[in-house]
Amino acid sequence: MNKRPAPYAKARSQYTDYMVKEPMELMTFLSTVMPQASRTKIKSLLTKRIVYVDNVITTQYNFPLKPGMKVQISRNKKVQEFHSRLLKIVYEDAYLIVVEKSEGLLSVNTERQKERTAYTILSEYVRRANKRNRIYIVHRLDRDTSGLMMFAKDEKTQHTLRDNWHEIVFDRRYVALVHGEMERNAGTVHSWLTDRTLYVSSSPTDDGGKESVTHYHTVKRGNGYSLIELNLETGRKNQIRVHMQDLNHPIVGDGRYGREEDANPLGRLALHAFKLCFYHPVTGEMMHFETPYPASFKALL
């Protein structure tokens, strides 16, 4: 009787791996490792979004590779092209999908809001390959927050991620543009948050709410604003927005927790989940994803 392959082996078999040993552009590298493939064939692989560089889908033919990088080519011939102005897939394998969500897009539907969401967009995408495919919710981003989030592709992976979130996710950071110039270069906000449906209140002492901890680091100050990085110990509803209000430096564009007199020059909430690092729930591999700070945040400084 044949033994079933180990989960690690199963996950790795989805890809052909190549290690980069010297600097060169991605097209040149692919031509080197696949000498039998024409330039048209290689460009087709890039268009189909099945080429990964250090775990990130890469379609740029002249992407600069450096020694030590890993290039992977998916063996899945049924990979579907994905086009959405609201959502970008940055990584996908047999078990999970990491996406970059635009501001204004709900993560998932609610009972009161039945509209197009990140969840419905990805569900349609995976079902094009197989009608039985599904997407499973792991965590959420607020509608007005942009940035990185992940979904599972099976129930077991979903449960593994949810039940072991703090052990699996080892670095998750946000960047925000806030009103005023921060007094401190770094600090921590510690309070108890109570969800009152439409508004989350904060108390400096335990009043029965949920304990919440946010660490912040000031990156730059200027022009009456500050750019800050935030690292959450807890993931409560509206936590960052409330804690910035507690510091009297509300996030630019925050109509709920900001001040009426504050302007909104960006036309959006200036909060972006720019980094997501975790151990793969099946392979144990260290996964690292990072997006640039939104250019509009930096422009105001």
Residues across the chain: 301
Q: How far is CA 36 from the centre of its chain?
A: 36
Distance CA(199)–CA(68), nearest Å, equals 48
Q: Which residue is listed with tokens 């009103």? A: 179
Rounded to whole angstroms, how far apart are CA atoms 38 and 30? Answer: 10
Residues 98, 100: Cα–Cα separation, whole Å = 7
Q: Which of 54, 93, 142, 262 is catalytic?
A: 142
Residue 154 appears among annotated catalytic residues? no
The token duo for 183 is 């007094």
Measure the CA–CA gap between 101 and 143, rounded to whole angstroms: 9
3-state secondary structure of 8: helix
Residue 241: which H helix or E strand, with range? helix 239-246
Q: Which residue has tokens 């946000």? A: 174
Q: How far is CA 135 from CA 87, 125, 126, 284, in A?
A: 15, 10, 8, 21
CA separation (Å) from 91 to 30, 35, 97? 19, 26, 6
Tell me, rounded to whole angstroms, the distance of Cα 1 from its chain centroid: 42
β partners of residue 212: 191
* Residues identified as active-site: 142
